Amino acid sequence: MVATVGNYCILVEDIGSAGIQAILQISAGLGTPPNQIAKKVCQAPSVLISEIDLESAEQINQLLKSIGLNTVVDNEDNISIENCQLYDVAIRYLEVTHLKETLDIISHVIGLEPQKILSLSSLPPGIIIGSVGIGLIDALQKRLAENAKLLFAKAHEDIYDIFVEDTQYLPHELKTSLEKTYGKSRGYIPLGVSYEDAKKLFVKLPKGNSSRIFQRKLLSYDLVLESANHAPEAIRALAKILDIPEKIIQRIMQNTPIVVAEALDYEQSIRMCELAKESNINLTNRLYNFQQYSLYIDQYRHHSSIAELKEFYDIALPNRLPAKIKSGFSELECQILTPQFDAMGLVYRFEQEMSE
């Protein structure tokens, strides 16, 4: 890919169908370190090659397109992308039955091993990659389709909240201040403040704590219908809020509490809860993946379940059932294990762990 000096450049619009291997190919062809190429591709739209003549630019552009990148040739005088915004990206898996496919797609794009991606996404807020451009985000979301939803936010900008572990020791003054201002001092606390202000509060926590601060835009919320209101006007209102038929609402109300909407952002979840409250509907927003669950198994249908459970999460069945098997499962882990347990013929349940 040797080019002569000119006034043209090649702009990377997004990663397209390419992945980390394409970046290595470009690096070898241009004689440029892979990390520099990766930065330009991941932070697209960006200028990949500059100061070349039109003929060379068009030839190189065709090669880049052949390996999957979405690129264009333009005159350098027309390019102005110095203020390109960069984002941190988190993920919410919507179809866990396609989890392997989803992880493989992400791995192909960003170069991390699937298990590492799953590990990163299991701890809220679930950031899988940082400082990337909107081009990569859009291209990756297109590939993931309905299997997952990407959430993104500018680093150290927008609104921040805090999560305080139930076991976290808090100085009396800080505990009192949190309870006075936010009504609680444990769990998810919607501070709604800047990164600087959230950091000031966070540093007051004792060192070595497992609590954390995070951007609200990187979180997702589920809506939970806590109790039923069978009044016709309430059913009509909830059907309108959730955009589902009234007949389905009537069936839903027979199984409360129940999750009625998933993967919403904070503002959307709050707005829907407020609309529900106006019609005396007990709808609450619940932060996804912060709860911890214990696994109980009542019975199993075949002995091969024991070996399979040992393979998954080092779970072993006791001699007598029903029994509590293991604690500390995240909501994501429960979602992953559910279809596996169903296929194994286990009679089981996950129950949310309650704080002392």
CA atoms within 13 A on the CB side of 47: 18
Cα atoms in the Cβ-side hemisphere of radius 13 Å centred on 69? 29
Of the candidates 152, 167, 149, 159, the one whose C-alpha atom is nearest the C-alpha of residue 96 is 149
Cα–Cα distance, 337 to 315 (Å, whole number): 12
Using CA atoms of 194, 165, 288, 323 in order, give the dihedral in degrees to the nearest 10.
Answer: 180
**164 token code pair:** 């305080």
Rounded to two decimals, what is the model's pTM? Answer: 0.80
Q: Which residues of the chain have pLDDT under 50?
A: 1-2, 356
Would you call 16 helix, strand, or coil by DSSP?
Answer: coil
Both tokens assigned to 213: 């601060």
Question: For residues 8 and 74, is the Cβ–Cβ distance under 8 A?
Answer: yes
4-27 per-position pLDDT tens digit: 567 899 999 889 888 888 888 888
CA dihedral 73, 76, 77, 80 (to 10 degrees): 90
pLDDT at residue number 343: 81
The CA distance from 188 to 205, in Å, is 15
Report the distance separating Cα 125 and Cα 198, nearest Å. Answer: 15
- With 0-12 / 13-18 / 19 or more C-beta atoms within 10 angstroms meaning exposed / middle / buried, residue 171 is exposed
- What contacts 280, CB < 8 A, 6 or more positions away? 229, 231, 234
pLDDT of residue 80: 67
Backbone torsions φ then ψ of 296, nearest 5 degrees: -115, 135
Query: Does an H or E element contain 235, and which?
Result: helix 232-242
pLDDT, one tens digit per residue, over 30-42 is 888 888 888 889 9
- CA dist., res. 317 & res. 305, Å (int): 9
Q: What is the DSSP letter of 165?
A: -
Q: What is the pLDDT of residue 155?
A: 81
DSSP 237-278: HHHHHHT--HHHHHHHGGG-SEEEEEEE-HHHHHHHHHHHHH
Task: Check residue 346 and give its pLDDT.
Answer: 84
Check: CB of residue 30 under 8 Å from CB of residue 1. Answer: yes
